[in-house]
Structure 1
Amino acid sequence: MKVIILGATGQISGFLIERLLRETDAELTLFGHNVTNRVQLSVPERENIVDGDILDIATLVHALKGQDIVFLNVPTADAMNGTATAMQQASIRRLIVSGTIGLYDEVGGKFGEWGKSSMGAYFSNRQPERNAIDALDSDSNIDYTYVRMSMLYNNSKNDDYTLIPFGEMVTGAQVSRQAVARFITDMVKTPTLQINKNVAIIEKGSENMSKPSFY
């Protein structure tokens, strides 16, 4: 199994790299801006570094060739569209995207009220992202999973997660980055898991919180 991580210098990517090296035998390609100087390899024989711009399609296609799974840790519309184009040229199907809640006015409960009053801009102006996800959903050459993450924090002692299907209200106020990394690892282990799904991920027990515990 070969996995390429686009946006490899991000925090979630860091936890994911550690987990994949520990729990799988996957070979990893770490792609991003100046990865060479920003990521310390822990198992060099299983890690390959590619410095590059995710919007440089030619460089991305070259890095994607031979990969089995693509994890995109840059959920902008341009990044999703460019990655989809490069995947088609490189004949790669499986894509996992880490995004955020609030794309579909689906954040509810006390947490939703807090979010709209204190972080209104966070939940608005998301049409380009929705369009990019719709394009993935309608592309028969890509098997995608879009992960809408609740508010993120680090908690090495809690990697439990609950998934909320598309169309259901999201009231969970938080989720640890370690939990997100665990979910992505679960999909690497079982690539058909949540295939062609758009799901939210929250921390179990945060459904009735009025705001994240770290605010």
Structure 2
Amino acid sequence: MKITIIGGSQGTGAELARLASAAGHEVTVLSRSGSAPAGARSITGSATDPASAAAAVTGADAVVVTVGGAKGVRHQRAAVTAEIVTAMEQAGVRRLVVQSSLGAGDSARQLPGVLRWITPLLLASPLADHNAQEAAVMSSGLDWTIVRPTGLTRKPSTGAWTALEVGQPGTLRGTITRADLAAYLLQVVQDPSTIGAAIGISNS
């Protein structure tokens, strides 16, 4: 499978690139730094630049967006995602998986205990960015899945997580390792049953 990762030079995106390459997938990483894990093809550029976005997604079977915010840039995640959606539509690439955050949309109810109330207050600005990001995804005609992790950690993989759509019984815990989130993203990108779903995830 040809997988393009937007923001794959570090963090969850880099974890995903390593896992996907090790599993035999053909991985392309678009980042401003131009760095990528071993085994992945690197494209240097900004994902908000139409030419860079087009070069990254053309020919892909699936695109995964894992970008974070940018200092001093309002709604960076939303701007990147909107440009990638446009590039995918123009290139005829349909499968899109986007890393958002638990608390976006109507997902705060999935948070445990007091986090349900304080997260929307403490993370108001990034959640507003994620809300705009999710709106761009949901209004597209693509085969999309949104994954909403809880707080990210750099701890080793546990191999165990809980993934829930809003409305499913249960709540999530407060954190998930980047390695486990990357493993789940790799599962989702290959699973057509997740198309059209927004899924919260934490370690079990």
TM category, shorter: 0.7 to 0.9
Deviation at 1:95, TM superposition (A): 0.6
1:83 is matched with 84
Q: What SS is found at the alignment partner of 1:183?
A: helix
CA pair 124-56 structure 1, distance change in 2 beyond 3 A: closer
2:20 is matched with 20
User: Within 1, Cα distance between the matches of 2:18 and 2:65?
Assistant: 16
Moved more, 56-65 or 168-177: 168-177
Q: Aligned Cα RMSD in Å?
A: 2.5
TM-score, with length taken from structure 1: 0.79
For the pair shown, the structure with the greater C-alpha radius of gyration is 1
Over 3 Å off, 4+ runs: 108-112, 114-119, 123-129, 167-171
User: Within 2, Cα distance between the matches of 1:115 and 1:166?
Assistant: 13
2:176 is matched with 175
Q: What SS is found at the alignment partner of 1:107?
A: helix
Q: Give per-residue Cα distances to partners, 1:95-154, cap 9 Å, x unaligned.
A: 1111111113533588442464477231467445324423422322x0111111101112
Preserved CA contact (<8 Å) 1:6 1:72: yes
Instruction: Using the aligned pairs only, state the percent identity.
Output: 22
1:211 is matched with none
> Match of 1:137, as an amino acid?
M
Preserved CA contact (<8 Å) 1:159 1:180: no
> Are residue 162 (structure 1) and residue 162 (structure 2) matched?
yes
1:1-215 map, 5 Å: 1-23=1-23, 25-36=24-35, 39-41=36-38, 43=39, 47-74=40-67, 76-104=77-105, 106-108=107-109, 111-114=112-115, 116-117=117-118, 120-123=121-124, 126-127=127-128, 129-140=130-141, 142-167=142-167, 170-188=171-189, 190-204=190-204
Structure 2 residue runs of 5 or longer lacking an equivalent are 69-76
User: Within 1, Cα distance between the matches of 2:48 and 2:29?
Assistant: 15
Q: What SS is found at the alignment partner of 1:100?
A: coil
Structure 1 residue runs of 5 or longer lacking an equivalent are 205-215
Preserved CA contact (<8 Å) 1:103 1:123: no
Preserved CA contact (<8 Å) 1:3 1:67: yes
User: Within 2, Cα distance between the matches of 1:98 and 1:40?
Assistant: 19
Preserved CA contact (<8 Å) 1:64 1:92: yes
CA pair 126-17 structure 1, distance change in 2 beyond 3 A: closer
User: Within 1, Cα distance between the matches of 2:119 and 2:89?
Assistant: 40
> Match of 1:57, as an amino acid?
P
